[in-house]
């Protein structure tokens, strides 16, 4: 009798753990959703070296679907800002001056969701690896990026983006 109660207890504990894990996976928190979308944005602004036109346009369209129509981008180094989703999608669809692609990786991402659950702020360190157009050598730089998110019709969209000044970093060997 002790074994059967013990076995039932173990099975019950395993079932509860499975339900909790399934709930965590099926119903992610707002912070987890935003963190995932932030990483997805980094992937979408990365440019594969031999990307075809149709792939680039599909990537730009998906990128645009994650932005508020009135998004505003500012640069802490004093560069001109960018206003509106269409302008940003155009930049992603028609990148200029890059040869060899661009890889964007995010590190140290933090997310803070406002108490109402409809606004949030995320920050991260974006590492850009690219071929320098002047030296033709692999180069890398990092920027602190802050995104203000707004929940619209159940989806988290970027409303404001602030990009910090470039910090040169050593180039890691390709993986």
Q: Could you state, in order of their start, the residue ranges of all structural domains in the chain?
A: 29-168
CATH number, domain 29-168: 3.10.450.50
DSSP string, 130-165: EE-TTT-SEEEEEEEEEEEEEEETTEEEEEEEEEPP
The per-residue pLDDT string of the chain (175 residues; one tens digit each, 9 = 90 and over) reads: 556 666 665 555 555 555 445 454 444 599 999 999 999 999 999 998 888 889 999 999 999 999 999 999 999 988 899 999 999 999 999 877 677 789 999 999 999 999 888 999 999 999 999 888 788 888 899 999 999 999 999 999 999 999 999 888 877 665 5
* H or E stretch covering 121: strand 119-131
């Amino acid at each position: 009798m002790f074994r059967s109660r013990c076995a039932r207890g173990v099975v019950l504990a395993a079932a509860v753990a499975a339900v909790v894990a399934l709930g965590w996976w099926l119903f992610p928190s707002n912070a987890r959703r935003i963190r995932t979308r932030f990483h997805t944005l980094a992937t979408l602004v990365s440019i594969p070296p031999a990307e075809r036109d149709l792939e680039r346009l599909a990537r730009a369209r998906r990128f645009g679907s994650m932005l508020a129509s009135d998004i505003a981008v500012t640069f802490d180094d004093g560069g001109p800002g960018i206003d509106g989703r269409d302008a940003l999608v155009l930049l992603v669809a028609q990148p200029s001056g890059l040869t060899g692609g661009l890889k964007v990786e995010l590190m140290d991402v933090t997310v803070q969701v406002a108490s109402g659950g409809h606004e949030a702020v995320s920050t991260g360190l974006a590492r850009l690896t690219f071929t320098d157009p002047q030296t033709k050598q692999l180069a890398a730089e990092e920027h602190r990026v802050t995104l203000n998110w707004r929940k619209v019709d159940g989806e988290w969209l970027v409303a404001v983006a602030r990009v910090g000044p470039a910090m040169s970093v050593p180039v890691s060997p390709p993986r």
